A and B are shown apart, each in its own frame.
Chain A
Amino acid sequence: KNEVEQSPQNLTAQEGEFITINCSYSVGISALHWLQQHPGGGIVSLFMLSSGKKKHGRLIATINIQEKHSSLHITASHPRDSAVYICAVARPGTASKLTFGTGTRLQVTL
């Protein structure tokens, strides 16, 4: 069983829709990262969080440590949001190496 599970694997939305991507993990963590991978392959960090909620523009990330669950929300989605969104966790005492989920492929259409 993967230590980090994401759902859904694929997601298609129309422009303007509110999007939620979920991440569940089965291990103790020191931090959870949300990352965006563009079609060309590059990875960009969106959020790092260990509790509560963070917001950046149209993106919101939440984490529930007790339930070992995090969500990434995109409000007013746009075609430029189309990418793979990846959840990754850092475990305590591991020099912050990341364990990755399989990613959620998001396609936003006009």
Chain B
Amino acid sequence: EPEVTQTPSHQVTQMGQEVILRCVPISNHLYFYWYRQILGQKVEFLVSFYNNEISEKSEIFDDQFSVERPDGSNFTLKIRSTKLEDSAMYFCASNERRNTEAFFGQGTRLTVV
């Protein structure tokens, strides 16, 4: 069964460092998303990506965040200068089309120390 793959599963980084979280969505999917879940809280939308550009972003997704689909298969989330409050589980998701089932990766647990 096709799946969304995220790497790494866990990353520890020092405050102020840059991190790149990687995702390989399902190959025929067209819509891609990043969500995050701070420990003990609900999942929050960060950004959606379609047709090689951001289609929507939340107020959380400020200038320290960026997304890229560099090679047609990977979909990355870069956090430029990490803060303690960026510690969370980050989920990548993809849909084949609008309003179809969402497929989630297993998440990357980011710990900023």
Contacts and interface: CB of A to CB of B under 8 A. Distances in A.
Contacts of A40: 106
Interface residues of B, number: 28
B102 A45 contact: yes
B106 A42 contact: yes
A22 interface: no
Contacts of B109: 41
Given A88-B43, A96-B98, A101-B42, A41 B106 contact: yes
Interface of B: 31, 33, 35, 37, 41-45, 48, 50, 55-56, 89, 91, 93, 95, 98-107, 109
Given A42-B106, A43-B91, A98 B45 contact: yes
A106 interface: no
A94 B101 contact: no
A50 B33 contact: no
B2 to A, nearest CB: 13
Contacts of A88: 43
B50 A95 contact: yes
Given A41-B109, A101-B42, A96 B103 contact: no
A25 interface: no
What are the nearest 9 A-B pairs in CB distance?
A43-B104, A100-B43, A95-B55, A42-B106, A102-B42, A95-B48, A96-B98, A100-B42, A97-B45
A44 interface: yes
Contact of A48 (B41, B102, B105): B102
Contacts of A48: 99-102
28 contacts: A31-B99, A33-B101, A33-B102, A41-B37, A41-B107, A41-B109, A42-B106, A42-B107, A43-B43, A43-B93, A45-B104, A48-B100, A48-B102, A86-B42, A88-B43, A94-B48, A95-B31, A95-B48, A95-B50, A97-B33, A97-B45, A97-B48, A97-B56, A98-B33, A98-B43, A98-B45, A100-B35, A101-B42
Contacts of A45: 101-104
